[in-house]
Amino acid sequence: MVVAVTLWLGLSITGSLWLLLVIAVLDALLGTALGLFVSAFARTEFQVVQFMPAIVMPQILLSGLFVARDEMARPLELLSDVLPLSYAVDATNDVTTSAEFTGALTRDLLVITGAAALALVLGAATLRRQTR
């Protein structure tokens, strides 16, 4: 979706379009894995819907989309360093502004991949199983 909108709006990307697609897919996988993990703690669909803003909103507000992370108060900046969406935003910014594959981009991709894998493992481990 991000790549399609980028192409449709004619936005210029300095880096690789394929790398931007990889970041978008990894971030989508991460979001799905977090949803699976959170749903393991809910008893109804309505509870899942109530949980998701508590997971998503802090990440959106602290990821650097609205305020640069280095301009945040130090406690908020430290909290944003733990949230995986911050690394997805940083990786997207790196790809759109630079054609080089930097160490920071590698770190961001590894953090996103690791967070998605961890959320999938935790989600699978905590999901209730029903046998009939």
> Which pLDDT tens digits describe the chain residue by residue (132 residues)?
667 777 788 877 888 888 989 999 999 999 999 988 888 888 888 888 888 888 889 999 999 999 999 999 999 999 999 999 999 999 999 998 888 889 999 999 999 999 999 999 998 888 776 766
Q: What are phi and psi of 10, to 5 degrees?
A: 70, 30
The one-letter amino acid code at 118 reads L
Q: How high is the pLDDT of residue 106? A: 96
3-state secondary structure 66-129: CCCHHHCCHHHHHHHCCCHHHHHHHHHHHHHHCCCCCHHHHHHHHHHHHHHHHHHHHHHHHCCC
Q: How high is the pLDDT of residue 28? A: 94
Q: How high is the pLDDT of residue 2? A: 66
| Residues 6+ positions from 60 with CB-CB distance below 8 Å | 85
Closest CA to 109 of 14, 29, 36, 7: 29
CA distances (Å), origin 90, targets 27, 31, 58, 84, 100:
12, 16, 16, 10, 14
Taking 3-state DSSP, the helix, strand and coil percentages for the chain, each rounded to the nearest 5, stand at 75, 0, 25
